[in-house]
Amino acid sequence: MRIHSRLLALAVALASAGAARADDYPSHPIRLVVPYAAGGGADSVARVIAKRVGETIGQPIVIENRGGAGSIIGTELVNKSAPDGYTLLMGQSGPISINPAVYKSLPYDPLKDFAPVTMTTSYPYIMVVSPALAVKTVGEFVALAKSKPGELNYGTTGVGAANHLVTELFDFRAGIRMTHIPYRGTALAVTDLLAGHVQVVFSDPISALQHIHAGTLVALAVTSKERSPVAPDVPTIAESGYPGFDAIAWHGILAPAGTPPAIISKLNAEIVAALKDPETRELLEQQAMQTVGSSPEAFASFIR
């Protein structure tokens, strides 16, 4: 009985300590690691959410861009961080869903090493080329690529990244062959597209839309099953001759495994509330991002 009482007292003490930490959280700034260079879709979504949530929780959320190695560097940084809710990951389909399938070994396990908080957004890719390429449709692009096998370069956010696999899927469906040039973020790939170093990028919307509107890039198609509301005149790849083509990406917030459930719950409530805020939703929808906002359990199931 005495041992049982001591164990019960210890359990109560630990539970009380956990509750106190959650009640006090956050007591200082939070770091949100984006495993890509600044300027891309993940970075843009992270900054919109960080600003809104930081205002409601009373502590700033500081964005830290750690791009490179197919988003592994930034993802591993969060994996190695203390599970106290003060270092979070702006996760994306590339490092969480795709990397385990394309790398023989990873320094992290997306199922065991992270505690999902919420999926934030989903979006299609936009296939963009330089006006100098003198093509205006997917069909014209494919004809050009077939006439120059291996000579056209395409840029991505890195080996195994979501837009790398989307481009390879397109190559396979179209029967063409291009050369892959990996970057540390979509914004960098688009910069080199503008400079003529690569000929096509399957870009996240935020990195491409301003250049499409300015006429410095030409949008050939979107990768989703249906047209995007921010680019309604741009056809889908499916309606451009490749039926069934449907590829979207997503973003979501994750914490290191072992983060107290009460802190995960608090973060989830604050982020989901921000995603429901009309101003925040409008900012994200202007970037062709569809807001989601899910429970930690639903996000974990989606990742699995």
pLDDT of 94 reads 86
| Residue 187, pLDDT score | 87
Mean predicted lDDT score pLDDT of the chain: 91
User: If we measure between CA atoms, which residue out of 252, 198, 244 comes closest to residue 223?
Assistant: 244
Rounded CA separation 265/22 (Å): 9
Amino acid (one-letter) located at 123: Y
Asked if residue 246 has pLDDT above 70, the reply is yes
- Please, which pLDDT band fits residue 194 given cuts at 50, 70 and 90? very high
Beta bridge partners of 251: 92, 121
Neighbours of 62 (CB within 10 A): 12
Does residue 86 register a pLDDT over 60? yes
Q: What is the pLDDT of residue 162?
A: 86
DSSP code for 97: I
How sure is the predictor about 227, in pLDDT bands with cuts at 50, 70 and 90?
very high
* Pick among 3.40.109.10, 3.90.1150.10, 3.30.70.2170, 3.40.190.150: CATH of 27-122+249-303: 3.40.190.150
Q: How confident is the model at residue 138 (pLDDT cuts 50, 70, 90)?
A: very high
Confidence band for 61, pLDDT divided at 50, 70 and 90: very high
Task: With cut-offs at 50, 70 and 90, classify the pLDDT of residue 21.
Answer: low
pLDDT given at position 299: 98
At residue 279, does pLDDT exceed 60?
yes
Is it the case that residue 282 has pLDDT exceeding 60?
yes
Share of the chain above pLDDT 90, in %: 76
% of the chain surpassing 70 pLDDT:
93
pLDDT band for position 3 (cuts 50, 70, 90): very low
More confident residue, 206 or 168: 168
Residue ranges of domains in the chain? 27-122+249-303, 126-246
pLDDT at 229: 83
Average of pLDDT values for 68-79?
A: 92
- 209: three-class secondary structure by DSSP: helix
The reply to whether domains 27-122+249-303 and 126-246 share a CATH topology is yes
| Residue 16: Cβ within 10 Å count | 10
Position with higher pLDDT, 90 vs 157: 90
Report the CATH number of the 126-246 domain.
Answer: 3.40.190.10
Tokens of 294: 């899910």
Task: State residue 204's pLDDT score.
Answer: 87
* Span 262-275, average pLDDT: 98
Quick one: average pLDDT of 120-133? 94
Amino acid 185: pLDDT: 83
Q: Whats the size of the chain, residue-wise?
A: 304
Identify the pLDDT of residue 20.
40
Torsion of CA 217, 218, 222, 226, to 10 degrees: 130
